[in-house]
Chains A and B, each alone.
Chain A
Amino acid sequence: MAKNKNDLQQYQVRKTKGWVNVLISIFLAIWAIINLYPLYWMFTFALKDNKQILDTNKFGLPEGAPNKWFWSNFKEAMNTGPIGRFFLNSIIITFATIVITTLAAMMASYAITRIRWRASEMMNRIFMLGITIPIQASIIPVYLVVSKLKLINTPIALIVPYSAFSLAMALLICNGFMIQIPKELDEAAYIDGCGRGKVFFSVILPLMKPAVATTAIYTFLQCWNELMFASTFLTGEDYMTLPAGMAQLFGSHTTEWGPIGAALVIATMPTIVFYILFSRRIQDSFIAGAVKG
């Protein structure tokens, strides 16, 4: 690599001019601020009272020493509704969806990419239509069935539709990963006397670990924010997801801004901490999906 760089210098590579680089940096910095400032503002107004937010101190840190900040907003926010509970429900429902989607997609991908049969390509195309079909397409019939089965207000009412709508993308990603596993591996296992099932579970699945992270992140992105099904199918607080629960909490107009900010911070904090810890993993998994797809 080092040798390469020396070579490049001999050829007098045209460097981008200094001032252009400065402009690029300024542009990137401004865009970073546009991304971060609203979140920073949310964190600060969670610790202010209305007088500061709306009048005396709109943009900056809360006034006074940290012990003067309005920490009571957080207590008040916790009293308005079980935000922690919503968060947990969202995690459970998203996790279950990820497990079902990933397993179903892996199995289907195995049948499509590793067993030779006439209609496999066709089957794959049909599944891929799922990427384009909007989740709204099935809300009415699914709602009617779910209410007939008395499943309104249960996590299953969300997990099954979420899995179905995450399936196409997951399958696309799994196919991309699975094609790269050499066919010789399967054949060696068949010669050793393994059946298809055994090959799938003990040869293919262990090699698909990287695909799991990637399907997980795409499935997460599809379910975590979903509001339409969640707010229609869940009516009680017991199983409400974060989007549905928060939407309901804010349905009534609150005049105090501080506790709203605090509630937003509580709902966001775990995601941000998780992201800071695993940002590289998350990004790499996401990128892997984009390249494979």
Chain B
Amino acid sequence: MKSKKYDGVTIFLFLLPALLLFVGILVAPMASSAINSFYQYKGFGQKTWLGWDNYKRLFNKDFPAYIPFKDSVVHALLLAGFSVFIQLPLALGLALLLGRGIKGERFFLSVNFLPVLISTVVIGQLWLKIFDPRGLLNSLLRLVGYLKEGDDNIQWLAEGQGKLLYSCFIPMLWQYVGYHMLLMYAGVKSVPTELREAAKIDGATDWQVDRFVVIPSMKQIVKVSVIFAITGSLKSYDLIRIIAMNLSTKDASVPSTILMDYMTLRGEYGVASAVAVLLILLCFFFAILISTIFKERD
């Protein structure tokens, strides 16, 4: 119909906007980060070749101004664990229950999705007030008698008490349950009604329908949810920045806070680039790992 050459040009023109964005903002900067991670660079002036020093600096406490990068990865993976083993099952449970066509289905769906749409900064500020020593949580604990008269308020947000990390996690998990719930609800609803009814005619209970008919057909969506949950945890930043109130936080550090600490507070672009490179590698590693695990389950 059309000559091959002409098609080549058309294809290129149609891909051009996407390619410009993809190469200009993703590929080229990633390459540049990879190169910068081997230099000492302050953002201006001379670059000095360092070899692997920027990377060593992240792991070796003998280097000056050392920030334990390993801790931040552990924190992010801990968050990913909570996300996969608490948040996602909760979302799946809600999706299955609502997918059965319970009374008020739309109402519950709407309410559960609401936090997803509210600005993270608002959610963060709100939870800061909830976790404040004089805030809602401690007041509730007094109301139910967990904190007695004369007990000190619990310092949910203080550094060095082991609670700050979880105070950051809870709002994150809370905000995005609705996101995963709606993804999974879509999966539940895509099971044909006839299939459900056939199973029920054969004498299956609601639980058995969910277990043997619905869940097996949701593998693809669960995989997407798991990938989103884990990479989302690895790149978490917003709520930690707001609730820990400090980029240099030790208790609640994640790779992104360390990256921003090196970049904006210290102007060490080389080390910050090394963090960025490690973060990309981690995200790819887990995305591939999860895809392989789900493939093997076939």
Q: Which residue of A27, A59, A135, A275 is within 8 Å of B114 (Cβ)? A: A275
Assess the B201–A8 pair: CB atoms within 8 A.
Answer: yes
Q: Which residues of A contact B14 (CB under 8 A)?
A: 107-108, 110-111, 115, 196, 200
The answer to whether B293 has its CB under 8 Å from any CB of chain A is no
Assess the B260–A142 pair: CB atoms within 8 A.
Answer: no
Assess the B203–A190 pair: CB atoms within 8 A.
Answer: no
Select the stretch in A34-42, A65-73, A177-185 that faces chain B. Answer: A34-42
Assess the B129–A130 pair: CB atoms within 8 A.
Answer: no
Q: What is the minimal beta-carbon distance from B294 to any residue of chain A, in angstroms?
A: 15
Taken together as a complex, chains A and B put the C-alpha atoms of A143 and B182 apart, in Å, by 35
Taken together as a complex, chains A and B put the C-alpha atoms of A35 and B126 apart, in Å, by 13
Q: Is the interface of B mostly helix, strand, loop or mixed?
A: helix
Q: Which residues of B contact A123 (CB under 8 A)?
A: 15
Contact with A along B185-201 (1 / 0, CB 8 A): 11101100000010011
Contact with A along B15-29 (1 / 0, CB 8 A): 111110110111011
Q: Which residues of B contact A24 (CB under 8 A)?
A: 97, 102
Assess the A171–B18 pair: CB atoms within 8 A.
Answer: yes
Q: Which residues of B contact A280 (CB under 8 A)?
A: 106
Q: Which residues of A contact B72 (CB under 8 A)?
A: none
Q: Is the interface of A mostly helix, strand, loop or mixed?
A: helix
Q: What is the minimal beta-carbon distance from B140 to any residue of chain A, in angstroms?
A: 8
Select the stretch in B52-60, B61-69, B79-87, B277-285 that faces chain A. Answer: B277-285
- Interface residue tally for chain A (C-beta within 8 Å): 96
Assess the B197–A8 pair: CB atoms within 8 A.
Answer: yes
Report if A197-B10 is in contact (Cβ < 8 Å); known contacts: A35-B115, A138-B25: yes
Q: What is the minimal beta-carbon distance from B277 to any residue of chain A, in angstroms?
A: 8
Q: Which residue of B21, B114, B200 is within 8 Å of A104 (Cβ)? A: B21
The answer to whether A149 has its CB under 8 Å from any CB of chain B is no
Taken together as a complex, chains A and B put the C-alpha atoms of A164 and B136 apart, in Å, by 40
The answer to whether A6 has its CB under 8 Å from any CB of chain B is no
A132: nearest chain-B partner, CB-CB: B287
Assess the B30–A137 pair: CB atoms within 8 A.
Answer: yes
Q: Which residues of A contact B224 (CB under 8 A)?
A: 290, 293
Q: What is the minimal beta-carbon distance from B26 to any residue of chain A, in angstroms?
A: 6
Report if A283-B125 is in contact (Cβ < 8 Å); known contacts: A35-B115, A134-B235: no
Q: What is the minimal beta-carbon distance from B247 to any residue of chain A, in angstroms?
A: 11
A42: nearest chain-B partner, CB-CB: B126
Q: What is the minimal beta-carbon distance from B49 to any residue of chain A, in angstroms?
A: 18
Contact with B along A232-259 (1 / 0, CB 8 A): 1000000000110011001000000100
The answer to whether A268 has its CB under 8 Å from any CB of chain B is yes
Q: What is the minimal beta-carbon distance from B195 to any residue of chain A, in angstroms?
A: 14
Taken together as a complex, chains A and B put the C-alpha atoms of A168 and B125 apart, in Å, by 31
Report if A140-B33 is in contact (Cβ < 8 Å); known contacts: A38-B126, A287-B185: yes
Q: Which residues of A contact B102 (CB under 8 A)?
A: 24-25, 28
Taken together as a complex, chains A and B put the C-alpha atoms of A225 and B175 apart, in Å, by 12
Assess the A286–B182 pair: CB atoms within 8 A.
Answer: yes
Assess the A141–B29 pair: CB atoms within 8 A.
Answer: yes
A50: nearest chain-B partner, CB-CB: B134
Assess the A246–B122 pair: CB atoms within 8 A.
Answer: yes
Q: Which residues of B contact A286 (CB under 8 A)?
A: 113, 182-183, 186
Assess the B280–A137 pair: CB atoms within 8 A.
Answer: yes
Taken together as a complex, chains A and B put the C-alpha atoms of A286 and B264 apart, in Å, by 36
The answer to whether A80 has its CB under 8 Å from any CB of chain B is no
Q: What is the minimal beta-carbon distance from B38 to any residue of chain A, in angstroms?
A: 14
The answer to whether A163 has its CB under 8 Å from any CB of chain B is yes
Taken together as a complex, chains A and B put the C-alpha atoms of A150 and B32 apart, in Å, by 20
The answer to whether A160 has its CB under 8 Å from any CB of chain B is yes
Taken together as a complex, chains A and B put the C-alpha atoms of A286 and B109 apart, in Å, by 12
Assess the B200–A8 pair: CB atoms within 8 A.
Answer: yes
Q: Which residues of B contact A261 (CB under 8 A)?
A: 129
The 7 closest A-B pairs by CB, nearest first: A138-B29, A164-B25, A111-B14, A141-B29, A108-B18, A290-B186, A134-B235
Interface residues of A (CB under 8 A from B): 4, 7-8, 11, 13-14, 16, 24-25, 27-28, 31-32, 34-36, 38-39, 41-42, 45, 54, 58-59, 100, 103-105, 107-108, 110-112, 115, 117, 123, 126-127, 129-144, 160-161, 163-165, 167, 171, 190, 196-197, 200, 221, 224-228, 232, 242-243, 246-247, 250, 257, 260-261, 264, 267-268, 271-272, 275, 279-280, 282-283, 286-288, 290-291, 293
Interface contacts beyond A134-B280, A138-B25, A190-B1: sample of 13 additional A-B pairs, CB < 8 Å, sorted by A: A14-B205, A25-B102, A28-B104, A32-B107, A32-B108, A107-B17, A133-B30, A134-B231, A140-B273, A228-B256, A272-B114, A279-B113, A280-B106
Interface residues of B (CB under 8 A from A): 1-2, 7-8, 10-11, 14-19, 21-22, 24-26, 28-30, 32-33, 36, 43, 94, 97-98, 102, 104, 106-122, 125-127, 129-130, 134, 136, 139-140, 143, 174, 178-179, 182-183, 185-187, 189-190, 197, 200-201, 203-207, 221, 224, 227, 231, 234-235, 237-238, 241-242, 255-256, 259-260, 263-264, 269, 272-273, 276, 279-280, 283-284, 287
13 A-B pairs (CB sep. < 8 Å) = A45-B129, A59-B140, A126-B22, A132-B227, A141-B29, A160-B25, A165-B26, A167-B21, A196-B7, A243-B119, A275-B114, A286-B183, A287-B186
